[in-house]
């Protein structure tokens, strides 16, 4: 019952929550019914996607405890899966990596597509693990894992899983600076979701394609598309897409000379992240705020520097080396233009020299070019 509802209505739709709560009441009346684990998983998804991450985390831990007590490999797969997703959203990337890897270890590819939930856990866990590994600073390993996830998803007769993974793969390409590849995957996601009636994923794909238009220089058209996707279905839009949409909309507005409106959106996103404890995006939001402050007034160096420094501090706490690099690039460029070239070169050199792979990604190329310029 839950699977078609989630696919067509969304994780946070009232119908999904009502069905889940009804099932929970029935399980509680029957005692520790076998179906209780499934119900806990459904509730975990609802609270996770709604942004109530504290409740989601406790439900995921309860799932894992139940799975461990029963020593059931399938339940262990889902328990680690739920914990991996929730911890990633809270910026606990190292812990999330461990749980996602354990979930994948329990996955049996021969049973792919039969695990009984709206998305298959193998390709989707691997896709999320790819993003976690990228955040931790291993972009080449991340790309390899994502390619495996896409191949697995294409081999399944499971359209929702394929749409979910294609969208995620496009997001990884975007994070690597490969916008053309990202747009192609998002187009495929959009087409598949339109054919299958996956309304929430279709909305997410529309949001991403709107930002792609902005990157192509079609600012007004892209902003309209992002705005429509962000606000047309607010009841079913998941937290991750709300934050991403506000971030994209803010930066897009800054690029077309609407920095004030962009700053209002980024402040809205930061407040939402703080309220929900969704810290996985927090570093990037502070980075974008610093960019917008400079777009509004190039003389706002001190305020922008504070934003970039805050982004760096959050990324370091999370061991998110890729996010740290992005923020250091902006801070180093700002310091260099303000006559503090040696300090800028030293801080950028330190983070650049940490990396051992991913040198064909946009940020590492940008960092190398900036280092060369600061050293000249």
Furthest-apart CA atoms within the chain: distance in Å: 74
pTM: 0.91
Mean pLDDT of 140-161: 96
pLDDT value for 199:
85
Alpha-carbon span 142 to 133, nearest angstrom: 5
Read off the tokens for 74: 């399938």
Mean pLDDT of 366-372: 98
Identify the three-state secondary structure at position 281: coil
Mean pLDDT of 185-197: 96
pLDDT category, 36, cuts 50, 70, 90? confident
Alpha-carbon span 220 to 210, nearest angstrom: 10
Does the pLDDT at position 6 exceed 60?
A: no
pLDDT value for 39:
80
pLDDT value for 48:
87
Burial class (CB in 10 A: 0-12, 13-18, 19+), 118: buried
Cα 278 to chain centroid distance, Å, stands at 10
Q: By the 8 A CB rule, do 129 and 100 touch?
A: yes
pLDDT value for 38:
80
Mean pLDDT of 185-210: 93
Say how many CA atoms lie within 13 Å of 21 toward its Cβ.
9
pLDDT category, 30, cuts 50, 70, 90? low
For the ranges 37-41, 192-196, 209-213, which has the lowest average pLDDT?
Answer: 37-41
pLDDT category, 185, cuts 50, 70, 90? very high
Does the pLDDT at position 211 exceed 70?
A: yes
Q: What is the DSSP letter of 107?
A: -
């Amino acid at each position: 019952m839950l699977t078609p509802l989630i696919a067509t209505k969304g994780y946070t739709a009232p119908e999904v929550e009502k069905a889940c709560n009804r099932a929970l009441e029935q399980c509680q009346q029957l005692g520790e019914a076998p179906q209780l684990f499934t119900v806990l998983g459904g509730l975990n998804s609802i609270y996770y996607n709604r942004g109530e991450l504290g409740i989601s985390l406790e439900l995921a831990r309860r799932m894992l405890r139940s799975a461990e007590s029963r020593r059931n490999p399938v339940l262990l797969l889902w328990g680690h899966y739920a914990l991996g997703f929730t911890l990633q959203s809270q910026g606990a990337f190292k812990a999330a990596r461990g749980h996602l890897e354990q979930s994948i270890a329990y996955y049996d590819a021969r049973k792919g597509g039969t695990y009984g939930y709206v998305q298959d856990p193998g390709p989707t866990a691997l896709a999320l693990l790819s993003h976690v590994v990228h955040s931790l600073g291993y972009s080449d390993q991340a790309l390899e894992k994502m390619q495996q996830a896409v191949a697995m998803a294409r081999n399944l007769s499971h359209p929702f899983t394929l749409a979910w993974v294609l969208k995620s793969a496009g997001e990884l390409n975007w994070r690597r600076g490969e916008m053309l590849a990202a747009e192609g995957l998002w187009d495929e996601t959009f087409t598949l979701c339109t054919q299958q009636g996956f309304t929430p994923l279709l909305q997410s794909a529309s949001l991403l394609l709107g930002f792609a238009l902005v990157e192509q220089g079609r600012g007004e058209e892209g902003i309209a598309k992002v705005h429509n996707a962000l606000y047309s279905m607010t009841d079913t839009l998941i937290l991750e897409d709300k934050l991403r949409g506000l971030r994209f909309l803010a930066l897009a507005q800054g690029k077309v000379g609407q920095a004030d409106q962009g700053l209002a959106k980024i402040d809205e996103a930061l407040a939402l992240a703080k309220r929900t404890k969704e810290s996985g995006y927090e570093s990037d939001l502070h980075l974008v705020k610093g960019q917008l402050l400079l777009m509004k007034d190039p003389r706002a160096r001190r305020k922008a520097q504070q934003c970039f420094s805050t982004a760096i501090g959050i990324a370091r706490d999370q061991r998110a080396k890729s996010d740290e690099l992005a923020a250091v690039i902006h801070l180093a460029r700002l310091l260099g233009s303000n006559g503090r070239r040696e300090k800028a070169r030293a801080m950028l050199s330190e983070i650049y020299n940490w990396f051992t792979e991913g040198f064909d990604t946009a940020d590492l190329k940008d960092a190398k070019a900036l280092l060369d310029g600061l050293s000249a």
